[in-house]
Amino acid sequence: MATGKNIRTWYNGQWHDDDIAIIHAADHGAWLGTTVFDGARFFEGVAPDLEAHCARINRSASALMITPTVTASTMVDIVWEGLRRSQQEAPVYIRPMYWALDGDQSGIVPREGATGFAICLEEIPMADPAATVRLTTTRFRRPLLESSVCNAKAGCLYPNNARMLMEARERGYDNALVLDALGNVAETASANVFMVRNGEVFTPIGNGTFLSGITRARHIANLRAAGYTVHEAVLTYGDFHNADEVFLSGNMSKVTPVSEFNGTTYQHGPITRHARELYWDWALSEKA
């Protein structure tokens, strides 16, 4: 079942106005999970950091030993062709995808050059900027690169995220603040995380256990340009209990205010609001 509506799919060299079937039962990606994707957003006539997202899926494919077959600039051209073709005005989730078609003689290692590719455009509204989420802890952790392909945006990583979300929901919360293997905060089950204390901004330092997001990097650059001190640091649950504001950063919603972490409540504060304003100002400045 699709998440959004008005789906258009680019596959085998052309656009299709539907959620078409693209993977066969015997494809390596279907039965061994060799799939990667990325996500960008189109809203108000712009698609911020689109090329960066398209470049990252090629890095993700290489990390999963899937041969990338489309350059980032070509993906960008295909996406804009699809958006213009549909005369799209509503917000869209832009999802390029690769998957391995065949394996080598072992059947396990993806065969070089045997790659499926598609792009999905899916109409999904932008989040209400006033909507907040509540966080809790989870017993599940982010894996290490030695045990999982943490340097890829890979479909096979998401069952672990799903376990985190389900555990949080069973406790009556919306999402989970997730630790790495050493017990330091990494991100949430679905997004990177920032906290504010005494007017300064903090976010977990990238240590290879989670994807240090493109939108996360954009917020860091925007906030620093606006004069804020932004720290990439080792953070614990205790740091978040002592924070003044907390917000999530992800491509889907850009900025999501957090109202609570396990009984500690936060204001939807001025820096969280300013981070969103700065992002929108930057994004719409690309509208030339």
- Examine the pLDDT at 15 and tell me if it is beyond 80: yes
In a domain, 128, yes or no: no
**Average pLDDT score over residue span 97-123:** 96
Tokens of 77: 């051209």
Average pLDDT score over residue span 25-40? 97
Query: Does residue 192 share a domain with residue 103?
Result: no
**Pairwise CA distance, residues 97 & 164, whole Å:** 24
CATH number of the domain where residue 38 is located: 3.30.470.10
Q: Are residues 118 and 141 in the same domain?
A: no
Question: Is 190 in the same domain as 272?
Answer: yes
Q: What is the pLDDT of residues 131-156, one digit of tens each?
A: 999 999 999 999 999 999 999 999 99
- Beta strand pairing call for 192-197 and 40-42: unpaired
Q: Are 103 and 139 found together in one domain?
A: no
CATH number at residue 209: 3.20.10.10
- Do the beta carbons of residue 114 and residue 138 sit within 8 Å? no
Q: How confident is the model at residue 99 (pLDDT cuts 50, 70, 90)?
A: very high
What are the tens digits of pLDDT across the range 179-192?
A: 999 999 999 999 99
Q: What is the mean pLDDT of residues 44-60?
A: 97
Residues ≥6 apart with Cβ < 8 Å to 223: 201, 230, 271, 274, 275, 278
- Looking at the structure, do residues 140 and 269 belong to the same domain, yes or no? yes
Q: Are residues 172 and 254 in the same domain?
A: yes
Query: Is the pLDDT score of 245 beyond 70?
Result: yes
Q: What is the DSSP string of 137-202?
A: --S--PPPTTTS-TTS-BGGGHHHHHHHHHHHHHTT-SEEEEE-TTS-EEEESSSEEEEEETTEEE
User: Residue 2 — pLDDT band, cuts 50, 70, 90?
Assistant: low
Query: Residues 192-220: pLDDT tens digits?
Result: 999 999 999 999 999 999 999 999 999 99
What are residue 175's phi and psi, to 5 degrees?
-155, 170
Give CA–CA dist 70/92, Å, rounded: 21
71 in a domain, yes or no? yes
Work out the end-to-end distance of the chain between its first and last CA atoms, rounded to an integer number of angstroms: 36
What is the residue range of 235's domain? 133-285
Q: Are residues 157 and 94 in the same domain?
A: no
Q: Which residue has the higher pLDDT, 275 or 288?
A: 275
Same structural domain for residues 37 and 154? no
As a whole number, mean pLDDT of residues 163-182 equals 97
Q: Which three-class secondary structure state does DSSP give residue 27?
A: coil
For residues 64, 97, 99, 21, the Cα torsion angle rounded to the nearest 10 degrees is 160
Distance from C-alpha of 141 to C-alpha of 111, rounded to nearest angstrom: 31
